[in-house]
Amino acid sequence: MERKLVLFSAAGLLISLALGGLLFLFSPAENLADANQPAVNAGDTLPAFLLADLNGDAHSPASLAGKPAVINFWATWCKPCEIEMPLLQATSERYPQIAVIGINSGETAAAIQPFVAKYDITFSVWLDTENKITDRLKIIGLPTTYFMDAQGVIQAVHLGQLTPTLLDAYLAQIGIES
């Protein structure tokens, strides 16, 4: 009797696993792919949101209207973010017609102040202390950078560390020639 119960339970488990595997295999591929896509892509605009900067002043994507923008999501613990930070600072200095915005993901102003001082960051840093915007945009890795034209339309999204060559190519997409 006990052996029949074990066999019956094992058979039930195998059938459940097989049905689950079939469901996964025959799910539409676009549904699986959509789950890993950012919520905002090239051709879209950023949704409305409000974040404070390091001085406590509130900002939104609407405040960038009329100006091309480079919006970089980053964190102090992220080594690629740290490596690309001087490149973003240099971009903000070289191209004053661009709004360079650093949106810190998940850290407080007190936690990031030493980092900002270390890299002499003068571009605007907005705080997403609770990752609400990072989560809303479905950002899956840091750094992630959005390149918006002067009309607020995202022309490109880059996941990972930027290089000078990549940055120049993205800037050209928002109308900035180097």
The DSSP line for 62-88 is: GGGTTS-EEEEEE-TT-HHHHHHHHHH
Q: What is the mean pLDDT of residues 96-107?
A: 98
- Mean pLDDT along residues 64-84: 97
Residue 97 pLDDT > 50: yes
Examine the pLDDT at 16 and tell me if it is beyond 70.
no
pLDDT given for residue 152 in this prediction: 96
pLDDT band at 170 (very low <50, low <70, confident <90, very high): very high
Q: What's the rounded mean pLDDT across residues 103-119?
A: 98
Tell me the average pLDDT of the chain. 87
pLDDT bracket for residue 69 (50, 70, 90): very high
| Predicted local distance difference test score (pLDDT) of residue 17 | 42
Higher pLDDT, 15 or 109: 109
Q: In what order do the strands lie in the sheet with 154-159?
A: 58-59, 51-53, 124-128, 99-105, 69-74, 144-148, 154-159
Burial class of residue 99, CB neighbours in 10 A (0-12, 13-18, 19+): buried
Spell out a b/e string for 136-172, using b for 16 or more CB atoms within 10 Å of the CB, else e: ebebeebbbbbbbbbebebbbbbeebbeeebbeebbe
Whether 2 has a pLDDT exceeding 80, the answer reads no
Global pTM value: 0.80
Q: CA 16 to CA 14: how far, in whole Å?
A: 5
Cis, bond preceding 143 (omega within 30 deg of 0): yes
Mean pLDDT for the stretch of residues 38-53: 94
The pLDDT of residue 178 is 80
